[in-house]
């Protein structure tokens, strides 16, 4: 039995897909060989508080600008009035992958607008 001949469209699709696959493999190989593994670098930003049901919810955005994943990230948010600590809250995130961000919320009894909100990443583990 004779094989049917391939037409021009089939050859075009074959060549184009081969080029795309080789380009992706080349890109991944270059990234794997040249990228430096750096520790997690966590940055925390607080959003605007929302009052609801007698509490005040504050969104926290945690960015990892480092070159490796952070696991079991603990973020601390503290309301301060001068040197006095008014209230403290914590947020725990399971993972913050490299060059990504995660969002969570903390809740306060006091209105955060009365004070200065200080946030920081307290701890993390490297997987």
Per-residue CA distances from 46 to 34, 35, 83, 106 (Å):
34, 30, 20, 10
pLDDT at 15 over 90: yes
Give the pLDDT band of residue 96 (cuts 50, 70, 90): very high
Structural domain boundaries of the chain? Answer: 1-35, 42-125
If you average pLDDT over residues 82-91, what whole number do you get? Answer: 94
- Residue 75: closest CA among 33, 114, 46: 46
CATH of 42-125, one of 2.60.40.10, 2.60.120.10, 3.40.50.150, 3.40.50.1100: 2.60.40.10
Contacts of 12 (CB under 8 A, 6+ apart): none
Q: Can you tell me the distance from the alpha carbon of 68 to that of 37, in angstroms, rounded to the nearest whole number?
A: 6
Note the pLDDT of residue 102: 96
If you average pLDDT over residues 72-83, what whole number do you get? Answer: 95
Note the pLDDT of residue 4: 76
If you average pLDDT over residues 109-124, what whole number do you get? Answer: 93
Note the pLDDT of residue 45: 96
CB contact burial 85-123 (16+ within 10 A = b; e otherwise): ebbebebebeebebeeebeeebbbeeebeebebebebee
Tokens 């609801």 sit on residue: 52
Token code pair at residue 69: 């994943």
Note the pLDDT of residue 127: 78
55-66 per-position pLDDT tens digit: 999 999 999 999
Which residues is 96 bridged to in the sheet?
70
Give the pLDDT band of residue 97 (cuts 50, 70, 90): very high
**Proportion of the chain above pLDDT 90, given as a percent:** 77
């Amino acid at each position: 039995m004779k094989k049917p001949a391939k037409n021009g469209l089939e050859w075009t699709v074959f060549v184009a897909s081969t080029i795309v696959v080789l380009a992706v493999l080349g890109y991944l190989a270059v990234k794997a060989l040249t990228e430096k593994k750096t520790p997690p670098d966590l940055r925390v930003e607080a959003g605007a508080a929302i009052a609801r049901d007698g509490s005040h919810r504050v969104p926290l955005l945690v960015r990892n600008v480092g070159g490796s994943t952070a696991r079991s990230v603990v973020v601390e948010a503290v309301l301060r009035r001068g040197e006095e600590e008014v209230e403290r809250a914590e947020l725990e995130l399971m993972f913050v992958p490299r060059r990504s961000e995660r969002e969570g919320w903390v809740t306060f009894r006091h209105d955060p607008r009365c004070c200065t909100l200080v946030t920081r990443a307290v701890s993390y583990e490297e997987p």
